[in-house]
Amino acid sequence: TDCQSTVTGTCAGRISWRMGAGFSRGLNCDPIVGLEVRKIAVVTGGAKRIGRVIAGHLHSIGFDIALHYRNSVDSAQSLAGELCERRAESCRLFEADLEDQAQVSALAAQLLAHYSFIDLLVNNASGFAPTPIESRTPAQFDNLLASNPRARCFPIQCLLPALRGPGATIEH
């Protein structure tokens, strides 16, 4: 099949990713049965702003979306509804505060329980405080420095067993 002829990468001794037309369509080749299956993208902070646009774009090229949010449940549900309307069961929601290690571990466990692999992790989540620079306090700045790198590091660490192929993470 076309799927078998375009496989170009391996992971842990088995075929795990492909490039070219299949990659741009968000498809993957199952090496055991030779069928194309959807690729999975986890988008942290995916309910609003840039994360929402990233999730929408990845979905438009065929990825199923694991959409993470912290407080934006209404926005997350709205986006998931839109995406699933375009392609049934193509978006699932996952809530967690990435500043809380127990919640990061629980999020990873939920993702790993639902998906056997993750093709792409987009680390978009970050603290957002619409505070004018002239009135920002050192404590607010320190909080951003403490939370934003943490929200990127530990999800990667927890999801390493499921991340497939080189370049499986995007830091935004």
- pLDDT tens-place string over residues 80-127: 999 999 999 999 999 999 888 899 999 999 999 999 889 999 988 887
pLDDT at residue 16, as a whole number: 33
| Mean of the per-residue pLDDT values of the chain | 78
- pLDDT tens-place string over residues 130-147: 788 898 889 888 877 777
Q: Is the pLDDT of residue 10 over 50?
A: no
What is the biggest distance separating any 2 CA atoms in the chain, rounded to whole angstroms? Answer: 60
pLDDT at residue 155, as a whole number: 82
Contact 162, 41 (CB under 8 A): no
The reported pTM is: 0.73
- pLDDT tens-place string over residues 43-66: 999 999 999 999 999 999 999 999
Q: Is the pLDDT of residue 7 over 50?
A: no
